[in-house]
Chain A
Amino acid sequence: MTELIDRPPLADQPPSPTAELLRVRELGVAFGERVAVRGVDFALGAGESLGIVGESGSGKSTTALALLRMLPPGGRITGGAVELDGQDLAALPEEALRAVRGQRIAMVFQDPMSSLNPVLSVGRQLDEALRAHGGRRPRAERAARAAELLELVGVPKAADRLGDFPHQFSGGQRQRIMIALALAHDAQVLVADEPTTALDPTVQRQILRLLARINRERGTALVVISHDLGVIAETCSRLLVMRDGEVVERGATARLLTAPEHAYTRSLLAAVPRLDAPSRAAGNSTPGAEPLLVVRGLAKAYGPRRRRSPALESVDLDLHPGETLGLVGESGSGKSTLARALVGAHAPDAGSISFAGQPLDGRRARREVQMVFQDPYASLNPRLTVGRIIAEPLIAHKVGDRAQRQARVAELLEQVGLEASAAARSPREFSGGQRQRIGIARALAPEPSVLVCDEPVSALDVSIQAQVIDLLARLQRELGLAVLFIAHDLAVVRQVSHRIAVLHRGRIVESGPADRVVTSPEHPYTAELLAAVPSLSPATSGSLL
């Protein structure tokens, strides 16, 4: 990433002299009858940064959207004020509000893949943003400004890339372009809603650095919303902890991390997996000596015959019974391809997978190797009841009659910590964590000896994450399962794994005991991954600022 040229802010008008650039008073938001946000109150001066942290349903995103009055249909501001430089945005007519949005207060969204228009060149999109507020600048000047913006956000060779389309940029670069769009008019306040959640850790770090730099160098006030305390701790000087639509605690980041006052903040902090905590896997089970699953030279490529792009180059892997092998790697490293090859969802191009000394064929794979999916919403068929979803593998393997299957489903539900009565309900009625339990029960149904977990907790809140991890550990203890735990979060992986393997561009670049890989990585890529993990230690709070 090209570090930025030092130059003074471009603002045509000097930043507001008031200390309180953005003042939110007793903000309330409701969807229909349901109150989503109540009594949120904070002030933000020019050049300040504020982090809003909370779990899903805490109202943090709703608060962010309410700042710009861009609530989804059904949502409305029920009370309070959002004052930008003394002007109440909550009471402003729509027409006047449009002049403020993008020009004085701008927003960056979570998903850089879908937030850019795929059929317009990046230059065109920047040009449109520049024209949006009626500034009649000549075309050449706008083009120069667009290039300048791209350069500001660290896109290399910015002037040459204006004609490129979004798909020609990587995910991280697209998020940079989104930030450039938001900065088109030198907004005084930049609201970033989960700006790095969809990105890899190393890219996440770059984007956070960029946001911090913009905040520092241009005096743009920054509001960062995230579920990840680590992300916020390093970029924001002040924190707001939200729960159930209310602010439960506020204060300087360093103070909140060292001496949280509210019980919820304490439990939130306790639930965050720490990279410096040693692996707990050894206390959980002792792996057998003979490997159960042996993978040799596995390769898989996608795409048309002429231009195949390899997802897996050549992967060697051993998994012992009762062992948890953590597999880490960034998106595109081939993690999911490997997982799908192991469960027999697609055939590899080359290489072998053997199970207990014999080649693993499709039939055997479907009984012995089962999978827990990342997305607890997409991986359960919405048309079936929970009981049917769990019974499906039993029906497919022709296990027992109806009554026996029913009994087994009840048993499985209890095993994963749900009531047996859940069987009659629709998966929609359950929360993310509960759905993940249902997914685990389904995976356990055919009595597998290997569980492939593809990012099983990355879509869950930290407190729920801890519960699901505990459940997986208990199941391993009780059933002697071998677990392949695929994740991008190194702290979680270290905590649960006996061994860690690092996958990079389709190859395992390093593998070894979990604690060793984290404390003294041998491969430079592993070291890079480790360096990118956001830290919660108070010593590094605000370190990016």
Chain B
Amino acid sequence: MTTISLPPAARSRSGNRSRNRYVAGLRTWRGVTGLVLVGTVALAGLLAPWLTGADPDAQGPQALAAPSGAHPLGTDDIGRDLLSRVLHGILTDLSIILTAVPAGALTGAALALLAGTSRAADLVVQRLFDLVLSFPGLILGLAVTAILGPGRWPVVIIIALAEVPYFGRQLRAGVLVQREREYALAARVGGAGRARVLLRHVLPNAVDPLVVQGAVALSAGVFIEGALSFLGLGVRPPEPTLGSLISGSVAYLDTHPVLAAPLAVTTALVLGFTLLAEALNRGART
């Protein structure tokens, strides 16, 4: 009664307000910088076959060559073209995180919805999340690779597994809040079953925070891949990933500074995703 009414203009265009708020968030300097960083890196990765003719795995005669016309970023310790390896590494990383994060998000969301069905399920799901969260990321990675061995799929599984509790907990909190709102009760009184109330009424109103979590998870995905490959637990050589490139270049960094390129690209990607997450978050809150 005493709330100050919104201006009529804002009211009429608030139909898809939540979407507009995210777009507004992306229009800030954080959002634009994040988009430019992620966009540039992703585009470079996607256009890898056209940007460089060199085979990323082909060994050349010259190891640790300085940048030249044939090798714009020079070569690595066993003579492979660094530019080609970085570009293809981006592609590998993107394909890993873009599989793992949606998989983790979907699993987390499914578990959160399951938790919404009964008190017992809620208890089980919560303890499950606690269990995963109680492992530090790398220990979790070690455990999974100990079972599955190193490779691309174990990395995907580790990233997805690490992200499940975050998505799940966030959605569960949203579901708990929205479920108590009057419209959910209204749907139940109207005759809708539990599943229908949960999926058609509660879920669409609770998914918004997951957008931000998604951007956070992507940056975490790049980080986890990097850490695993650095330890030699990631994608098997010779296939390039950003993590294995960093790992391979560390020893020569003081003599060949151009080998810092993979590190710079990884930093740009993580920074970009983090800025995007921050921009979306701020947009959602205004």
Contacts and interface: CB of A to CB of B under 8 A. Distances in A.
A429 B191 contact: no
B192 A373 contact: no
Given A36-B4, A61-B4, A428-B11, A373 B182 contact: yes
B189 A56 contact: no
A367 B196 CA distance: 17
Nearest to A376: B182
Given A378-B181, A381-B205, A396 B1 contact: no
Q: What range describes how many residues of A lie at the interface?
A: 35 or more
Most A C-beta atoms less than 10 A away, residue of B2, B4, B5, B201: B2
Nearest to A111: B2
Nearest to A382: B205
B201 A381 contact: yes
Contacts, number: 102
Contact of B192 (A31, A34, A371, A392): A392
B5 A56 contact: yes
Interface stretch (A162-170, A438-446, A494-502): A438-446
Contact of B1 (A197, A374, A397): A197
A88 B197 CA distance: 55
A442 B205 contact: no
Contacts of A429: 11-12, 15
A476 interface: no
B177 to A, nearest CB: 12
Contact of A197 (B2, B11, B182, B186): B2
A32 to B, nearest CB: 6
A279 B1 CA distance: 27
Most A C-beta atoms less than 10 A away, residue of B8, B17, B188: B188
Nearest to B10: A32
B139 to A, nearest CB: 36
Contact of A34 (B8, B188, B196, B201): B8
B193 A396 contact: yes
Contact of A442 (B181, B185, B186): B186
Contact of B183 (A75, A344, A381): A381
Q: What range describes how many residues of B lie at the interface?
A: 20 to 34
B22 to A, nearest CB: 15
Contacts of A378: 181-183
A405 to B, nearest CB: 13
A459 B7 CA distance: 20
A344 B189 contact: yes
Given A110-B2, A373-B182, A381-B183, A345 B7 contact: no
A373 B191 contact: no
Interface string A346-383: 00000000000000000000110011011100111111
A160 interface: no
Contacts of A227: 1-2
Interface string B171-194: 000000000011101111111110
B237 interface: no
Given A110-B2, A379-B182, A383-B204, A345 B190 contact: no
A528 B1 CA distance: 26
Given A379-B182, A379-B183, A345 B189 contact: yes
Contacts of A343: 189
A341 to B, nearest CB: 12
B14 interface: yes
Given A194-B2, A378-B181, A380-B183, A33 B190 contact: no
Contacts of A395: 192
B191 A393 contact: yes
Pairs of residues from A and B, 8 with the lowest C-beta to C-beta distance, nearest first:
A393-B190, A396-B191, A379-B182, A366-B191, A34-B7, A381-B183, A378-B182, A396-B192
21 contacts: A31-B7, A32-B7, A34-B7, A56-B1, A56-B5, A61-B3, A194-B2, A343-B189, A345-B188, A366-B189, A370-B190, A378-B181, A381-B201, A381-B205, A392-B190, A392-B192, A396-B191, A396-B192, A426-B14, A429-B12, A429-B15
Given A56-B3, A193-B2, A367-B191, 20 more contacts: A31-B7, A33-B7, A34-B7, A56-B1, A57-B5, A61-B4, A62-B4, A194-B2, A345-B185, A371-B189, A374-B182, A379-B185, A380-B186, A381-B183, A382-B205, A383-B201, A393-B191, A393-B192, A429-B12, A461-B1
